[in-house]
Chain A
């Protein structure tokens, strides 16, 4: 496996015998798993830099970050000492805001790339579901809706709104979502925030490009106001070659209309 791939891939199955431990540094997340005869002990802490791209897998981890170190214990009765780590997308939609003003002219369309942090699902072999899911970076909560009475709780993120694949940094703990925006209205669309329906997306891994999701298309028409028509492309994005792994979406999306661009209060 070449250096780029090695630098991006942290998931898989590990055999951790009782009395042994293994540590992962995945971006801002410091994670250590210790196996005992009848339990699994997980220690984790988060750094404060959302774009920290470090990746390290070792026998143990020295926790040095500013975040609080938390310990969780899970009783296990299985004789199987394997544990599987998998990437999984966020459990809520992500509201991403451009770092600088970004306006799409009338009747124009654009393809931009935004990235969101992934979660780490820990599943002991022999169990049907993960025992826990840890974010590689805990984004801030935010509200997305027309008012404080109706809307959805989401995660907040900032985006550089990159337009070219070459500009995309490769980070092991973030998944890139291509977003096609069709502005079919007669007025320009100032992008202040975009709601990315992350739980409805499939996650892909490409040896060359890292973690990606399906492409989403958002069409804005004047008669729909702030509602955009959402389309999620079935397959992996065109920009991504040689997909070698795939993880299913957390939930299926119902309906095509989505409050994607509406400004709030």
Chain B
């Protein structure tokens, strides 16, 4: 008669061994995932930007852990086909429940491919302007210039117009103002260009541009456009306003206040004159 105690003891030992092997596989998988991730990062950090690097590294790590997890479950005797079937049903259920998140994830992948901006770029989306501090699976994080934290879902980024203010190395700043009608416009144009040329941070090329845009109520409208490198953009933008006012003042060229000319007709004096004519 077989010894039930020894048989059950043997079975328990076998199960314990299986569990230990499964746990060991999982642990090895976790350690290997970290090693693979770090190796991948070191090998590709010069070729990929930080966003892509993070995403691919995570995919590799999770993929490695998943493989070892499946191997561990197989070791414990679970049937893979049953697991996959259950996972499929779970995925459909989760998909319905987490549509928004899924959309954000998919949008994030499309953004990854399209790369309209990178970490460190300054972007404008809607009323929000700021520096991109991270691009994550579900959203991008922006730091505004007044140091506020803004989270923008990837889906919103995919559907909205994004202006990347720092994509190109140089930028143009347009200033619009008016000059009094009585001024010599040709001389004024020279003064505007000379003022821009005197600032070494204003690019000599593309040339500063003066565009007369029309005759407005209080003066002649003009646009002065100057170019600067994106690093010096703010400095140039501010300094040109100061230099312009100084130069125009020195030349005696007026930037007019809003003006209204009133022609006064006195009906009483008209009537008196007509009566005098009669007499």
A residues whose Cβ falls under 8 Å from a Cβ of B: 95, 138-144, 148-149, 151, 153, 156, 193, 264-265
Contact = CB atoms under 8 A, between A and B. Distances in A.
Contacts of A95: 204-205
Given A141-B200, A141-B229, A148 B205 contact: no
Contact of B206 (A138, A143, A153, A193): A143
B48 to A, nearest CB: 22
Contact of B201 (A141, A148, A151, A264): A141
Contacts of B229: 141, 153
A141 B168 contact: no
B206 A265 contact: yes
Contact of B204 (A138, A142, A151): A142
B50 interface: no
A32 B46 CA distance: 43
Interface residues of B, number: 16
B222 interface: no
Interface centre among B169, B201, B205 (most CB of A within 10 A): B205
A35 to B, nearest CB: 30
A142 B227 CA distance: 9
A138 B200 contact: yes
Interface in B159-173: 168-170
B169 A153 contact: yes
Given A148-B168, A151-B169, A153-B169, A141 B206 contact: no
Given A153-B170, A264-B205, 14 more contacts: A95-B204, A139-B200, A140-B200, A140-B204, A141-B200, A141-B201, A141-B202, A141-B203, A141-B229, A141-B232, A148-B206, A153-B169, A156-B204, A264-B206
Contacts of A151: 169
B228 interface: yes
7 contacts: A95-B204, A141-B232, A143-B205, A143-B227, A148-B206, A264-B205, A264-B206
A143 B200 contact: no
Nearest to A153: B229
A149 B169 CA distance: 7
Nearest to B171: A148
B169 to A, nearest CB: 6
- Most chain B beta-carbon neighbours within 10 Å: one of A143, A193, A264: A143
A141 B205 CA distance: 8
A140 B206 contact: no
A141 B228 contact: yes
A193 B207 CA distance: 13
B75 to A, nearest CB: 55
A185 B130 CA distance: 49
A156 B205 contact: yes
B197 interface: yes
